[in-house]
Amino acid sequence: GAVVSQHPSRVICKSGTSVKIECRSLDFQATTMFWYRQFPKQSLMLMATSNEGSKATYEQGVEKDKFLINHASLTLSTLTVTSAHPEDSSFYICSAPRQPTSGYTFGSGTRLTVV
Amino acid sequence: GDSVTQMEGPVTLSEEAFLTINCTYTATGYPSLFWYVQYPGEGLQLLLKATKADDKGSNKGFEATYRKETTSFHLEKGSVQVSDSAVYFCALSERNAGNMLTFGGGTRLMVKP
């Protein structure tokens, strides 16, 4: 149980285009979803926290207009990388707490390559 | 703020060797502690967890004990296998921080046959 489906798993896009990444909780309701970014050989960095029905909370240094987050339902959160550039190439992963002390369920991640 | 410090890798071991990956933390309250594992090309998976002091989390032969006095949550395994090669992340979460996870830097483990 507690599965989070994330897709696409890999995407290659051209500079200047936008890419949408979806995370769906399949068997539970996720009122909160966390979005992380992982640079090569580095740890995960929290980008933002999305809350169903309200605006996302962004971490310091994360551009709100570039990384658009929408959490329109209890089972779906999306991250849109707008006007992507090569420096946005990274591994993006979402997670949702089903029960905080039970751990977090992670999506399988999205490898974004901007060429 | 909260932080998690892990030993830097990579850690290279021979098969059947004993593994320890150190993890220490700083937190304002009483966090829950986790170890996550990321196998090559895959997303993160919860390996084990502990929610209060002296709890021991265990899974797949891995163990970690929540030590409040030393603010540590070291990961151990008595006999590693090649299939254990992965990146291991120590993490904590606190209710008063919105339950978001704070990760350590990750430790890459390479097990050679």
Cα separation, B34 vs A20, whole angstroms: 29
At A96 the pLDDT is 86
Q: How far is B45 from chain A (nearest CA, A)?
A: 7
The pLDDT tens digits for A25-63 are 888 888 889 999 987 666 778 899 998 888 999 988 999
CB proximity B110 to A under 8 Å: no
**Rg of chain A over all Cα atoms, to the nearest angstrom:** 13
Out of A6, A32, A103, the one facing B46 most closely (by C-beta) is A103
Contact B43 A109 (CB under 8 A): yes
**Whether B44 contacts chain A with CB within 8 A:** yes
- How does residue B25 score in pLDDT terms, banded at 50, 70 and 90? very high
- Which of B3-7, B25-29, B100-104 shows the lowest mean pLDDT across its residues? B100-104
CB–CB contact B45 A107 (8 Å): no
> pLDDT tens, B82-109?
999 998 999 988 766 666 778 888 899 9
Out of A48-57, A103-112, B77-86, give the one with best mean pLDDT: B77-86
